[in-house]
C-alpha cells in the first residue's frame, strides 16, 4: 500500500527511555481517530543520533524534524500537521541561543556536516524488517561477493579501501582477513566484538539497534573471505534492545536463506549465534573475549599465538568490531576507491563518535576522517552549554586521553589523535568545560580500569591501585610534592609490564592530563585548591550578604548544618557541613559562596 | 551497565537461603552437553532467583559436571552476577563518563542519604538495592538513574527524595 507520509519515530535506547514507544502508540491512535491510517504510516526506526532531543519524529518525505515530544503534544500535532497540513513550529528544533526554529532535518547543523556510511540506514528503515534493509540495497554486497568475487578478491578490495579496525586499535581490516584466510584449518570462526565497554560510547549498540542486517552482511562477507562457517556475536548483556533486534534479524536472515546451508545456492554455508557477555570491560580484548565465549573467566592470554592462528577453541579466528562490519557491505558495493577517497592519507572513510558531556547537541555522529575537533564540537555539537568555556575533550575512554581546547584544530585520524596522547578508541568523545576538574577525570578513569583489571598482571592489578590512591589523596587535598613524579614512574612501569591493552593504556588518562593540565595537579598539591571548584574536600561553602533568610537552604541541608532566623542571614556550621552542595543548588539569590 | 561492587566477595561465605532448586531443571536441560555454556547457565539462574544462590552453584556443579570452584570463579569475575538477594526495586545510578562530568557522584550520595544504605547494598526492608553502573547508554539524559524499568534523566540531587517517595508510597498503598 502506498502512503503519502511516513512518520519515522526514533526507537533507539535513549529515545525509548524518554517515552518514544508511548509517543508512537499515541501517534497511531490519533491517526486512526482522524481516519488517516490509509495515508500516514508510523514506522519505528533505529537511533537517529540526536539523543539529547528525544523523543524524535521525522516526517518523510518533507524531512520535517520534530523533537522533545511529549504525550500531550501528539493530538495537536496530528490534527495540525497531518490533517490540516500545517507543520507545528513549536515542536521543531531551535539551536541553542537562537530564536528561529529549523523545520527540516537537512538544515540542522547537527546533521548536515555528517557523512553516513556505517549509519547509512539510520532513521530510514524499520530495524525489525529485513525487507526494509533489502529495499536499501541490503544483501546486494553478499550477492556480489558470492557471484563475482573470489575470497582473494574480497580481501584485496578491503585492503585497497584502507579500512582500519573501528574498535580502537586501528589495525587494517584487510590485512587481518588475509592472515586469517592464510591460516590453515578446516574450522574457522568469525567473531563480532559488540562488547562495547567504554563508558560514554554507544555507537555499536546504536548500529545494531538501527541496522542489524548490515552487521550480519558484513560478517557473511568476512566469513566468505577467510573461509569461516561459524560466527559469534559477543554482545553486552546490558543491551537488551540490541540483542532482541539482532536475534530477530538473524531469524529473518535464516528464513530468507541468507544464513544456513548453501546460501543463495552458491554452496556457501554460514551460521551465526549470539553470546551474551556478563559485564567485564576486559572482555573487549580479543583473547579475553574468546575465553569468555568458552565460558571461562575473561582473562587475556599472551600472543603469539595470535587469534588468526589459534583463537576460539584453538581454531583460527578473526575478530572485528561492529562498526567495522557495518562498513563492509558499503565498500563492496561502492568500491574501495570511493571509500578511500574519503579521509586522510592513512585513515580512510568515516568514524562514528558519541558526542556527550558538556555539549549542547548530545548524540551520535558519523563524520569523515580529516574533520577537525573544533568542527565536531562547535559546528555539529553546537558548543558548550550555559556560556561556559570549552576546556578539553576526552577521547578513547579509559585507554585514551584528554585533548585540550588549544589543540582543537587537531584533525580526526588515527595518527593525529595518537600524537596528542589520546587514542581514536571506539569513538567516545566526552566534552568538558571549565567546571570539570582534570585531576578528578583522571581519577575517574583510573578508578574504572582499576576495577576492571582482571588481576593477571601484577603491575596492572597493584600499580593502578597505587596510582588511584595517589590521585585520591591529591583530590582530598592531601597530596605531597613527590606525587607527580611517582605517578609518572608508575605509569611507565604499568605500560611496560602489562600483557593486554587494558594495562598498557590504563595510565593514558593520567599522562595526558599531566601533560596538558599539570598546573591543575600543582594547584591541588601545593595550594590545596581545585581550580574547577569540583573536588569537594577542597571547597568551603559560606553564605554571603545576599541571603534574605528564605530558609530554603536550611530545609534541604541533609546534616542540618545551616541555621538562622527566618528573614535573617543564615550561617553554615563548617564542622557539620558535608559539602554536598544542596544549598548551592537550592539558593535562588546567589548567596552561597564556594571557595 | 557494569556493576561496580564496593565490597567484592572475598571469601566463600555466601548467604545460603532456601530456594526452590527444581526451577533450574529446564535451564540445565537446555544447555546439557553444550560446551562453553557456563555463563549462559548462570545468567539463566540469576534471571530465576535475582541472584546466584549458593545451593544453585552446587546443583549446577553436579548436573553440568563443572567444578564448584570454576563456577565461583566465573560468578565473582563478571560484574553481572550477584551473590546476595536484592531488593524489590533496583536503583542503578549511571556513572558513565558523561554522567560523571554531570555530577553523578552527587546523585549516589543523595540516594545513600535518602535510603540510608551503602552503595551496592540493599535496604533492611528489602525494598531498594542501590547500585552504581557504568554507562546505561543514554548519555543525552545525564545524569541518569533507573529504578527497575523506569528511567529518570537530567537529575539534580534535590529530585531524589520525591522519586524515592513515589515508590515508598506505592508500597504502602499495596500493603495498607
Q: How far is B26 from chain A (nearest CA, A)?
A: 19
Tell me if residue A228 falls in helix, strand or coil. Answer: coil
What ipTM describes this predicted complex?
Answer: 0.84
Nearest to residue A371, comparing CAs of A379, A359, A360, A363? A379
Which region among A122-131, A141-150, A510-519 has the lowest average model confidence (pLDDT)?
A122-131
Kindly tell me if the per-residue pLDDT of B176 is higher than 60: no
Where are the CATH 3.10.20.600 domain residues in chain A?
Answer: 350-433
- Out of B101, B144, B158, whose CB is closest to A357? B101
Q: Tell me, what's the pLDDT at A1?
A: 59
- Fold of the domain spanning A350-433: Ubiquitin-like (UB roll) (3.10.20)
Mutation pick from A295, A384, A583 vs chain B, by most beta carbons of B within 10 Å, is A295
Q: Do B135 and A202 touch (CB under 8 A)?
A: yes
- pLDDT per position as a tens digit, A572-587: 999 999 888 888 888 8
Q: How far is A155 from chain B (nearest CA, A)?
A: 31
Q: Do B1 and A236 touch (CB under 8 A)?
A: yes
Q: Do B158 and A585 touch (CB under 8 A)?
A: yes
For residues A592 and A582, give the distance between their C-alpha atoms in angstroms, rounded to a whole number.
10
Mutation pick from B1, B77, B150 vs chain A, by most beta carbons of A within 10 Å, is B77
For residues A176 and A164, give the distance between their C-alpha atoms in angstroms, rounded to a whole number.
10
Kindly tell me if the per-residue pLDDT of B12 is higher than 60: no
b (16+ CB within 10 A) / e for A270-307: bebebbbbbbbbbbbbbbbbbbbbbbbbbbbbeeeebb
* Distances from the Cα of A516 to the Cα of A199, A227, A406, A484, B1, angstroms: 22, 47, 10, 13, 31
Grid coordinates given for A112: 548536515
Shortest CA distance from A442: residue in chain B = B97
Report the percent of chain A where pLDDT is more than 70.
Answer: 100
For residues A510 and A440, give the distance between their C-alpha atoms in angstroms, rounded to a whole number.
10
Instruction: Report the sign of the C-alpha dihedral through residues A275, A280, A284, A285, in that order.
Output: negative
Q: Which residues of A touch B38 (CB under 8 A)?
A: 295-296
Q: Tell me, what's the pLDDT at B15?
A: 66
Chain B contact present for A52, CB below 8 A: yes
- Out of A200, A394, A558, whose CB is closest to B135? A200
Shortest CA distance from B99: residue in chain A = A357
Q: Do B141 and A294 touch (CB under 8 A)?
A: no
For residues A320 and A171, the answer to whether their CB atoms sit within 8 Å is: no
Kindly tell me if the per-residue pLDDT of A97 is higher than 90: no
pLDDT band with cut points at 50, 70 and 90 for residue A504: very high
Q: Do A295 and B109 touch (CB under 8 A)?
A: no
Q: Please, what is the average pLDDT of chain B?
A: 86
- Out of B38, B73, B78, whose CB is closest to A279? B78
Q: Tell me, what's the pLDDT at B1?
A: 39
Instruction: Starting at the earlier edge strand, list the strands of the sheet with A317-321.
Output: A260-263, A268-276, A230-235, A189-194, A317-321
Nearest to residue A161, comparing CAs of A362, A394, A336? A336
Kindly tell me if the per-residue pLDDT of A12 is higher than 90: no
**What average pLDDT does range B24-34 have in this prediction?**
92
Q: Please, what is the average pLDDT of chain A?
A: 93
**What average pLDDT does range B72-97 have in this prediction?**
91
Nearest to residue A197, comparing CAs of A509, A427, A373? A427
Q: Do B138 and A17 touch (CB under 8 A)?
A: yes
For residues A162 and A175, give the distance between their C-alpha atoms in angstroms, rounded to a whole number.
10
Provide CB contacts within 8 A for A528, sequence distance 6+.
A477, A538
A226 burial type by CB count under 10 A (0-12 exposed, 13-18 middle, 19+ buried): buried
- Out of B133, B138, B157, whose CB is closest to A580? B157
Q: Tell me, what's the pLDDT at A514?
A: 96
- Out of A199, A298, A441, whose CB is closest to B77? A298
Beta bridge partners of B60: none
Q: Do A278 and B39 touch (CB under 8 A)?
A: yes
- pLDDT per position as a tens digit, B101-142: 888 998 999 999 999 999 989 999 999 999 998 777 777 788
Q: Do A199 and B42 touch (CB under 8 A)?
A: no
**What average pLDDT does range A66-88 have in this prediction?**
93
Q: How far is B54 from chain A (nearest CA, A)?
A: 19
Nearest to residue B171, comparing CAs of B89, B49, B114, B92? B89
CB pairs under 8 A between A and B: 149
Q: Tell me, what's the pLDDT at B96?
A: 86
Instruction: Select from 1.10.3720.10, 3.50.50.60, 3.40.50.150, 3.40.50.11540 the CATH code of A130-340.
Output: 3.40.50.11540
pLDDT band with cut points at 50, 70 and 90 for residue B8: very low
H helix runs in A427-482, sequence order: 438-452, 458, 464-475
pLDDT band with cut points at 50, 70 and 90 for residue B13: low
Q: Which residues of B touch A296 (CB under 8 A)?
A: 38, 70, 74
- pLDDT per position as a tens digit, A27-61: 999 999 999 999 999 999 888 888 888 899 999 88
Residue A313 gets which letter from DSSP? G
Q: Do A200 and B97 touch (CB under 8 A)?
A: yes
Nearest to residue A587, comparing CAs of A541, A552, A539? A552
| Separation of first and last alpha carbons in chain A | 66
Residue A201 gets which letter from DSSP? -
Mutation pick from B138, B143, B152, B160 vs chain A, by most beta carbons of A within 10 Å, is B138
For residues A468 and A267, give the distance between their C-alpha atoms in angstroms, rounded to a whole number.
56
pLDDT band with cut points at 50, 70 and 90 for residue A199: confident
Pairing verdict, β A562-563 and A571-572? antiparallel
What kind of architecture, by CATH, is found in domain A5-108? 3-Layer(aba) Sandwich (3.40)
Residue range B8-77 in CATH 1.10.10: yes
Cβ atoms within 10 Å of A590's Cβ, excluding its own: 10
Q: Tell me, what's the pLDDT at B175?
A: 65
Tell me if residue A501 falls in helix, strand or coil. Answer: helix
Q: Do A13 and B77 touch (CB under 8 A)?
A: no
pLDDT band with cut points at 50, 70 and 90 for residue B9: very low
- pLDDT per position as a tens digit, A261-319: 999 999 999 999 999 999 899 999 999 999 999 999 999 998 889 999 999 999 999 99
- Domain assignments of chain B as residue spans, ordered by start: 8-77, 89-175
* Distances from the Cα of A546 to the Cα of A543, A550, A570, A579, A588, angstroms: 8, 11, 10, 20, 10
Q: Tell me, what's the pLDDT at A256?
A: 96
Grid coordinates given for A50: 540526536
Q: Do B97 and A357 touch (CB under 8 A)?
A: yes
Grid coordinates given for A325: 562490519
Q: How far is B73 from chain A (nearest CA, A)?
A: 7
Chain B contact present for A452, CB below 8 A: yes
Please indicate, yes or no, whether the overall pTM of this predicted structure exceeds 0.80: yes
Dihedral angle at the C-alpha atoms of A113, A116, A119, A125, nearest 10 degrees?
A: 100
- Concatenated DSSP letters of chain B: -EE--SS---SS--------GGGGHHHHHHTTT-TT-HHHHHHHHHHHHSS--HHHHHHHHHHHT--HHHHHHHHHHSTT--SS---SEEEEEE-SHHHHHTTHHHHHHHHHHHHT--TT-B-TTSSEEEEEEE--S-GGG-S-EEETTEEE-S--GGGHHHHHHHHHHHHHHHH-
- Fold of the domain spanning A438-527: de novo design (two linked rop proteins) (1.20.1440)
**What average pLDDT does range B39-64 have in this prediction?**
93
Q: How far is B37 from chain A (nearest CA, A)?
A: 6
Report the percent of chain A where pLDDT is more than 90.
Answer: 77
Kindly tell me if the per-residue pLDDT of B7 is higher than 50: no
Residue range B89-175 in CATH 3.40.50.300: no
CATH number of the domain located at residue range(s) A540-594 in this protein: 3.30.70.20
Q: Do B3 and A279 touch (CB under 8 A)?
A: yes
Provide CB contacts within 8 A for B137, sequence distance 6+.
A13, A14, A202, A205, A238, A239, B1, B96
* Distances from the Cα of A456 to the Cα of A146, A221, B2, angstroms: 44, 36, 20
For A70-151, list the strands marked E by DSSP. Answer: none
Dihedral angle at the C-alpha atoms of A497, A500, A503, A504, nearest 10 degrees?
A: 70
Q: Which residues of A touch B142 (CB under 8 A)?
A: 356-357, 362
Kindly tell me if the per-residue pLDDT of A506 is higher than 60: yes
Angle at A428 between CA A195 and CA A456, to 5 degrees: 50
Q: Do A279 and B141 touch (CB under 8 A)?
A: no
| Overall size of chain A counted in residues | 595
Q: Tell me, what's the pLDDT at A153?
A: 97
Assess whether the previous peptide bond of A61 is cis (omega < 30° from 0): yes
- Out of B77, B135, B156, whose CB is closest to A297? B77
Amino acid at each position: 500500500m502506498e502512503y503519502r507520509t511516513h512518520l519515522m519515530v526514533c526507537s533507539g535506547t535513549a529515545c525509548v527511555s524518554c517515552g518514544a514507544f508511548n509517543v508512537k502508540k499515541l501517534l497511531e491512535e490519533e491517526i486512526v481517530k482522524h481516519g488517516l491510517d490509509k495515508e500516514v504510516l508510523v514506522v519505528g526506526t533505529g537511533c537517529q543520533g540526536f539523543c539529547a532531543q528525544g523523543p524524535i519524529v521525522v516526517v518523510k518525505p518533507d524531512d520535517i524534524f520534530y523533537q522533545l515530544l511529549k504525550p500531550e503534544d501528539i493530538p495537536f500535532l496530528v490534527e495540525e500537521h497531518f490533517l490540516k497540513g500545517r507543520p507545528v513550529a513549536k515542536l521543531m528544533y531551535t539551536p541553542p541561543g537562537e530564536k528561529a526554529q529549523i523545520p527540516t532535518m537537512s538544515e540542522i547543523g547537527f546533521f548536515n556536516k555528517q557523512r553516513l556510511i556505517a549509519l547509512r540506514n539510520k532513521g530510514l528503515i524499520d530495524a525489525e524488517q529485513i525487507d526494509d534493509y533489502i529495499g536499501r540495497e541490503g544483501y546486494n554486497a553478499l550477492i556480489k561477493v558470492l557471484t563475482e568475487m573470489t575470497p582473494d578478491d574480497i580481501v584485496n578490495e578491503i585492503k585497497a579501501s584502507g579500512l582500519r579496525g573501528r574498535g580502537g586499535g586501528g589495525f587494517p581490516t584487510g590485512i587481518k582477513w588475509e592472515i586469517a584466510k592464510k591460516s590453515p584449518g578446516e574450522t574457522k570462526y568469525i567473531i563480532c566484538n559488540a562488547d562495547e565497554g567504554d563508558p560514554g560510547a554507544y555507537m555499536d549498540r546504536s548500529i545494531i539497534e538501527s541496522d542489524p542486517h548490515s552487521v550480519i552482511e558484513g560478517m557473511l562477507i568476512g566469513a566468505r573471505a577467510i573461509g569461516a562457517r561459524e560466527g559469534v556475536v559477543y554482545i553486552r548483556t546490558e543491551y537488551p534492545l540490541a540483542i532482541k533486534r539482532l536475534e530477530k534479524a538473524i531469524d529473518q536472515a535464516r528464513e530468507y536463506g541468507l544464513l544456513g546451508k548453501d546460501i543463495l545456492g552458491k554452496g556457501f554455508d554460514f551460521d551465526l549465534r549470539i553470546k551474551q557477555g556478563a559485564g567485564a570491560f576486559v572482555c573487549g580484548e580479543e583473547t579475553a573475549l574468546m575465553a569468555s565465549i568458552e565460558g571461562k573467566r575473561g582473562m587475556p592470554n599472551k600472543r603469539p599465538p595470535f587469534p588468526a592462528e589459534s583463537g576460539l577453541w584453538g581454531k583460527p579466528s578473526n575478530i572485528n568490531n561492529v562498526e567495522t562490519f557495518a562498513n563492509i557491505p558499503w565498500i563492496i558495493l561502492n568500491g574501495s576507491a570511493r571509500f578511500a577517497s574519503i579521509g586522510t592519507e592513512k585513515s580512510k572513510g568515516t568514524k562514528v563518535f558519541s558526542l556527550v558531556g558538556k555539549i549542547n547537541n548530545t548524540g551520535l555522529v558519523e563524520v569523515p576522517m580529516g574533520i577537525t575537533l573544533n568542527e565536531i564540537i562547535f559546528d555539529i555539537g553546537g558548543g558548550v552549554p550555559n556560556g561556559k568555556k570549552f576546556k578539553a575533550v576526552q577521547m578513547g575512554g579509559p585507554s585514551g586521553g584528554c585533548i585540550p581546547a588549544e589543540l582543537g584544530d587537531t584533525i580526526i585520524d588515527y595518527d593525529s589523535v595518537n600524537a596528542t596522547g589520546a587514542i581514536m578508541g571506539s569513538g567516545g568523545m566526552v566534552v568538558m568545560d571549565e567546571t570539570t576538574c582534570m585531576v578528578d577525570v583522571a581519577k575517574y578513569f583510573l578508578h574504572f580500569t582499576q576495577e576492571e583489571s582482571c588481576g593477571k598482571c601484577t603491575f596492572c592489578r597493584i600499580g593502578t591501585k597505587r596510582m588511584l590512591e595517589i590521585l585520591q589523596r591529591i583530590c582530598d587535598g592531601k597530596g605531597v610534592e613527590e606525587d607527580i613524579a611517582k605517578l609518572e614512574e608508575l605509569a611507565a612501569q604499568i605500560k611496560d609490564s602489562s600483557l593486554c591493552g587494558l594495562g598498557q593504556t590504563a595510565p593514558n588518562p593520567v599522562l595526558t592530563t599531566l601533560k596538558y593540565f599539570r598546573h591543575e595537579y600543582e594547584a591541588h598539591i601545593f595550594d590545596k585548591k581545585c581550580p574547577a571548584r569540583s573536588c569537594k574536600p577542597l571547597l568551603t561553602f559560606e553564605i554571603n550578604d545576599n541571603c534574605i533568610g528564605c530558609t530554603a537552604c536550611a530545609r534541604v541541608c541533609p546534616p542540618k548544618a545551616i541555621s538562622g532566623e527566618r528573614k535573617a542571614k543564615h550561617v553554615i556550621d563548617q564542622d557539620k557541613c558535608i559539602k554536598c552542595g544542596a544549598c548551592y543548588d537550592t539558593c535562588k539569590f546567589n548567596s552561597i559562596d564556594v571557595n | 551497565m557494569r556493576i561496580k561492587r564496593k565490597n567484592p566477595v572475598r571469601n566463600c561465605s555466601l548467604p545460603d537461603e532456601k530456594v526452590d532448586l527444581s526451577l533450574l531443571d529446564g535451564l540445565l536441560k537446555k544447555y546439557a552437553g553444550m560446551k562453553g555454556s557456563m555463563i549462559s547457565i548462570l545468567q539463566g539462574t540469576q534471571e530465576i532467583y535475582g541472584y546466584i544462590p549458593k545451593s544453585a552453584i552446587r546443583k549446577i556443579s553436579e548436573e553440568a559436571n563443572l567444578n564448584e570452584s570454576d563456577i565461583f570463579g566465573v560468578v565473582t569475575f563478571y560484574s553481572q552476577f550477584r551473590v546476595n538477594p536484592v531488593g524489590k526495586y533496583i536503583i542503578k545510578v549511571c556513572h558513565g563518563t558523561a554522567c560523571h562530568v554531570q555530577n553523578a557522584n552527587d546523585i549516589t550520595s543523595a540516594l545513600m542519604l535518602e535510603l540510608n544504605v551503602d552503595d551496592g547494598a540493599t535496604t533492611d526492608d528489602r525494598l531498594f538495592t542501590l547500585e552504581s553502573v557504568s554507562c546505561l547508554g543514554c548519555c543525552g539524559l545525564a545524569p541518569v538513574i533507573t529504578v527497575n524499568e523506569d528511567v529518570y534523566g537530567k537529575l539534580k540531587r534535590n529530585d531524589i527524595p520525591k522519586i524515592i517517595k513515589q515508590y515508598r508510597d506505592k508500597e504502602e498503598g499495596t500493603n495498607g
